[in-house]
Every structure is written in C-alpha cells, then in structure tokens.
Amino acid sequence: MKKNILKISALFMAVILLFSTLSFTVHKHICAGEVSDIALFGNLESCNMHDNNTDNNLTSFVKESCCQDNAQFIKGSNAELKTSKTSQDDFTVLTSVFLYTYFNSYESIDKNSNDFKDYFPPIVIKDIPVLYESFLI
C-alpha cells in the first residue's frame, strides 16, 4: 500500500513539474461577444459570419466584422536545477576523510605479542572487599 502511494505521489509531482515548465498558446475565436472556438494545438474553425464581411448590394463598402481571433501565450517557468561544483567537491572530501578515519582508526592486534611476558601482577595480601564487607550484588 505504501509503495503504491509513493508511486502515485511521484507521478503526481512529475506531472506538476511538467505542466509548470510547459509553455503553450491558446487561440480563441470570439463571435458576437461569445467564444465560439478554442484551439490549443490545431487551427481555429471560423464561423459563417466571419466570411461574410462584404455587403452584396454595395460593393464599395466593407462591413465591420463582429468576429475576432485572440491568441494568448502562456509561458511556463524557466527554473532550472543548477548543481554547485563546490558542494560536490566538499561532499567528496568529507566522504574520503570519513572513510580514511573509519578504516584506519583500528589497528590490528597481534595475538603473538610478547609485550607483557615479563610482567608479574602484584601479590594480593588481603582481600579488600571481604575485609570491608562491601559486596556488590
């Protein structure tokens, strides 16, 4: 269940990133004050009123068209992720120092060491805990 939620949230964030950086143009055909056609990627379909811009009786006069075409450009963000070279260098140095100290901090102990062969422990004359009767339980 947790894996599915993580996959869905990752997909959702990728879609948000895609649409936040996407730029596109919206074309609108407005006829008589109302939007009659919207196009994102294709061509607009014009209405019949848009083609009839001349009067049949008077050829010298041109009627004003009640239709207009609008284009609106929607720009996405140009935010780019920039990596810093110094932070990568600092991380590399920190990692190498950590690994060097971790692996070289412990020395191997030689089991055949003769460092204490001439050492003799002191002779115990009295047993101090028994003498003072202080036992740790």
**pLDDT, tens digit, for every residue of 54-101?**
455 555 566 667 788 888 887 877 666 565 566 677 888 889 999 988
| Residue 84 domain flag | no
- pLDDT, the chain, mean: 77
Residue 29: how many other CB atoms lie within 10 Å: 19
Range of the domain at 66: 2-74
| Most confident among 4-18, 65-79, 122-136 (mean pLDDT) | 4-18
Q: What is the pLDDT of residue 57?
A: 55
Say whether pLDDT at 111 is over 80.
no
Read off the amino acid at residue 74: I
- What are the angstrom distances between the C-alpha of 126 and each of 57, 89, 123? 137, 63, 9
| Residue 25 domain flag | yes
DSSP-derived 3-state class of residue 18: helix
Q: How many domains does the chain have?
A: 1
Only one residue has tokens 């006829």, namely 31
| Stretch among 23-27, 83-87, 126-130 having the lowest mean pLDDT | 83-87
d(CA 29, CA 45): 8
CB 29 within 8 A of CB 35: yes
Say whether pLDDT at 10 is over 90.
yes
| Residue 61 domain flag | yes
CB 74 within 8 A of CB 25: yes
The structure's pTM equals 0.38
d(CA 71, CA 37): 12
| Residue 17 domain flag | yes
Comparison of pLDDT for 106 and 55, the residue scoring more: 106
| Residue 54 domain flag | yes
